[in-house]
Amino acid sequence: MKRCMFVDDSSVIRQVAKRILGGSDLLVIEAPSGRDALEMCSAEMPEIIIVDGALPDLPAVDLILRIRAMESPVRPQILISLVELDVASIMRAKRAGAQGYLLKPFNRPQLLECFRSLKIAA
């Protein structure tokens, strides 16, 4: 079973994602901060990581770079989650090692389509 981590300080966003993806072939785990995400990734790297573009404790690009620098047999697919289409933020995240982006708030069809485009069954 693949593991998907949602890193977002909004419990609502994390719960919506968990409700949409729950019951599929994914185990959805939650991290309310960048620091929590780093601890969880160092313990066991998830296959998919969705990073809030506006974390209060750590810039998203720094979090992505730190995750990419970790030694792990798993190389996760990382998306940055944004409230608006911001090409500069998306490009900075991609240069740091993200594969793409997800706009929020998202609904079931949008989230599932995003995961299908990553070739992740959900």
- Per-domain residue ranges for the chain? 2-117
pLDDT, tens digit (0-9, with 9 covering 90-100), for 17-50: 999 987 767 899 999 999 999 999 999 999 999 9
| Range 15-42 burial, b when 16+ CB lie within 10 A, else e | ebbbebbeebebebbbbbbbebbbebbe
Q: Which residues make Cβ contacts (< 8 Å) with residue 95, sequence separation at least 6?
A: none
What's the CATH superfamily of 2-117? Response regulator (3.40.50.2300)
pTM for the model: 0.93
| 104-110: average pLDDT | 90
**Unique residue bearing structure tokens 């798993």:** 74
| 80's tokens | 């940055």
CA distance 121 to 113: 10
pLDDT, tens digit (0-9, with 9 covering 90-100), for 3-20: 999 999 999 999 999 999
Rounded percentage of the chain residues whose pLDDT exceeds 90 = 80
